[in-house]
Structure 1
Amino acid sequence: MALEKERVCVTGAGGFLASWVVKLLLSRDYFVHGTAREPSDEKNARLYELEKASENLKLFKADLLDYDSVKSAIVGCNGVFHIACPAPSTTMELLEPAVKGTLNVVKACLEAKVKRVIVVSSGVAVGLNPRWPKGQIMDETCWSDKEYCRTTNNWYCLSKTEAESEALEFGKKTGLDVVTICPNLVLGPLLQSKVNTSSLVLIKLLKEGYESLENKLRMIVDVRDVAEALLLAYEKAEAEGRYICTAHMIRARDLVDKLKSLYPNYNYPKR
């Protein structure tokens, strides 16, 4: 039986993935509370152009590190989609905001008696584990090795792993219904005017002019499919734990060749 369709909260509502989630929720007649550090920012103001937004969307000024502002957006909601997170970075400075911000969200959800919270993690919280048996398919039981992430300065990977594990542990201790989704590289059309971090992966292939490029395997998923997956995880009562969300696997060279066939006049890697 699907959870009751009423009010839900989407953190970081103006972001790449979150804006698609807001669009999908509005199309399904949900009333949406969206959080934004600055609601008047252009990327957030554009949310009000979405169909049904004028009557069913309310933006709240909130900072994930400010518990009271987070709680004010969540109060009255049946469900929460926690999507906001610091952008990938090479410094450990993003670790505290990612983890503390997530804990503030789940604590506010518990206090507000939210029925279910969907936490968006990442495939990088799954795949960085050098001790995983070679040849064994990685599934939802695989976690990135925190110490390995730390010693290799993979701070974004560490932040997503820490935040997801803390959220699930909080759910186990308190009884809060927490479900996590781990998407891989999320690509697709943008609803906002600013280019997001994952789309920069493609832009760099088009314009950076690398001499060479490691032919590594890329796992890609369409942003609209991730939005659908998040709503499915929210509405299906039997959903629990964590889920990997991915769709396409492609080698870097094949990705470049595909881009060349579509957009031939760019400065692609030489080899």
Structure 2
Amino acid sequence: MASENREEVVCVTGANGFIGSWLVHTLLSKQNPHYKIHATIFPNSDPSHLFTLHPEAQSRITIFPVNILDSTAVSNAINGCSGVFHVASPCTLEDPTDPQKELLEPAVQGTLNVLEASKRAGVKRVVLTSSISAMVPNPNWPENKAIDEGSWTDVEYCKLRGKWYPVSKTEAEKVAWEFCEKHSGVDVVAVHPGTCLGPLLQNQMNASSAVLQRLMMGEKDTQECYWLGAVHVKDVARAHVLVYETPTAAGRYLCVNGIYQFSSFAKIVSELYHDYPIHSFPNETQPGLTPFKEAAKRLIDLGLVFTPIQDAIREAAESLMAKGFLQRTTSQK
């Protein structure tokens, strides 16, 4: 794990994605330790924005084009690193044509490839980017109990409804814990973000930002199988670094600023952007919100201070408008 007054080399998989980019930005911004980064990107994807994130980015980032299913390429990227942030995992709002090939195999086998390479390289800690989707939906969770790190998504419930992303994140995390039980020497800590909102550092749209974009454009899909645990992406990046640098950190860390049913989230957005055609959803039958301090208690206890969700929504919406993914209304011009 990180120690002061020295240089440290870490690997960030999926470094040019939404969370990955903010994580790289956060690591580069720290003074102690002074991080150098092995940044893995999917072959032929664009990492150029990473070199604009810090004045020393050019000298501190090394790019590794890596298909996460290529164990040799994964090993090459992780060799020489003392820590790994495994962020890369396929995510889409569209229904996959082949769930096994498009989601499950990259998520599960990719995680195993990272853990096996980390063990061979002598990595001290792997921070796994899991998801709230590995915790909910869980229809058997006690109705009056706040969602917390003890909850696991009901994969059969999701499979029956064709919701494959939660299945992929749940199965990927479970194989990570199974790996830890079988192999000593690799310490895994998992961070579970919800829907990440905030400025886009990359030029491409990502799935979380698309949830807000579609809602503000009048989308009527209730996302009923997704519990929307909204959170600012910069808080997610800080959470990753925090659990990496805290020796006592262990297990699962839910990283959300409250857990909402979609109608509750849509209402907040509509109050901020009443000029947009945001659909008014009927209230769901399940509870609308898990209180923020209960949902994120473990990270709050480690010292993470969360950004108000209204600020995250505003910054995300402004970024979408600035990059041309969302049209401004007349009153905002």
Structure 1 length-normalised TM: 0.91
Correspondence for 1:30 among 28, 32, 35: 35
Aligned to 2:306: none
Q: Does 1:230 align with 2:235?
A: no
Q: Does 1:13 align with 2:15?
A: yes
Query: How many Å apart are 1:32 and its aligned residue?
Result: 0.4
Deviations 1:27-76, CA, capped at 9 Å, x for gaps: 1120000001236x43x111111212111111101110000000000000
Tell me how far apart the structure 2 counterparts of residues 150 and 257 of structure 1 sit (CA, whole Å): 29
Deviations 1:85-113, CA, capped at 9 Å, x for gaps: 01135332311111011110111000111
Aligned to 2:331: none
Correspondence for 2:51 among 48, 63, 70: 48
Q: Does 1:134 align with 2:137?
A: no
Tell me how far apart the structure 1 counterparts of residues 53 and 60 of structure 2 sit (CA, whole Å): 10
Deviations 1:190-221, CA, capped at 9 Å, x for gaps: 101111100011111111353x8589974211
Tell me how far apart the structure 2 counterparts of residues 133 and 244 of structure 1 sit (CA, whole Å): 18
The one-letter amino acid paired with 2:158 is: C
Cα 1:106–1:196 change in 2 (3 A) is same
Tell me how far apart the structure 2 counterparts of residues 179 and 118 of structure 1 sit (CA, whole Å): 5
**Greater RCO between the two (CA within 8 Å, min separation 6)?**
1
Deviations 1:227-249, CA, capped at 9 Å, x for gaps: 00000110001111111111134
1:82-97 matched pairs, under 5 angstroms: 82-88=86-92, 89-91=94-96, 92-93=99-100, 94-97=103-106
8 Å Cα contact 1:213-1:269 kept in structure 2: no
Cα 1:100–1:253 change in 2 (3 A) is closer
Tell me how far apart the structure 2 counterparts of residues 33 and 3 of structure 1 sit (CA, whole Å): 18
Cα 1:260–1:20 change in 2 (3 A) is same
Aligned to 2:289: none
8 Å Cα contact 1:62-1:70 kept in structure 2: yes
Cα 1:251–1:167 change in 2 (3 A) is closer
Classify the secondary structure of the residue corresponding to 1:156. helix
Number of matched pairs: 268
Cα 1:123–1:255 change in 2 (3 A) is closer
Cα 1:159–1:218 change in 2 (3 A) is closer
| Structure 1 residue ranges without an equivalent (≥5) | none
Classify the secondary structure of the residue corresponding to 1:22. helix
Tell me how far apart the structure 2 counterparts of residues 221 and 7 of structure 1 sit (CA, whole Å): 28
Correspondence for 2:78 among 70, 74, 79: 74
Q: Does 1:205 align with 2:215?
A: yes
8 Å Cα contact 1:209-1:270 kept in structure 2: no
Classify the secondary structure of the residue corresponding to 1:127. coil
Correspondence for 2:182 among 173, 188, 197: 173
8 Å Cα contact 1:3-1:236 kept in structure 2: no
Cα 1:17–1:139 change in 2 (3 A) is same
Query: How many Å apart are 1:268 and its aligned residue?
Result: 2.2
Structure 2 length-normalised TM: 0.74
8 Å Cα contact 1:90-1:156 kept in structure 2: no
Q: Does 1:195 align with 2:205?
A: yes
Cα 1:260–1:144 change in 2 (3 A) is closer
Aligned to 1:62: 66
8 Å Cα contact 2:266-2:280 kept in structure 1: no
Tell me how far apart the structure 2 counterparts of residues 131 and 213 of structure 1 sit (CA, whole Å): 21
8 Å Cα contact 1:168-1:241 kept in structure 2: no
Query: How many Å apart are 1:269 and its aligned residue?
Result: 1.5
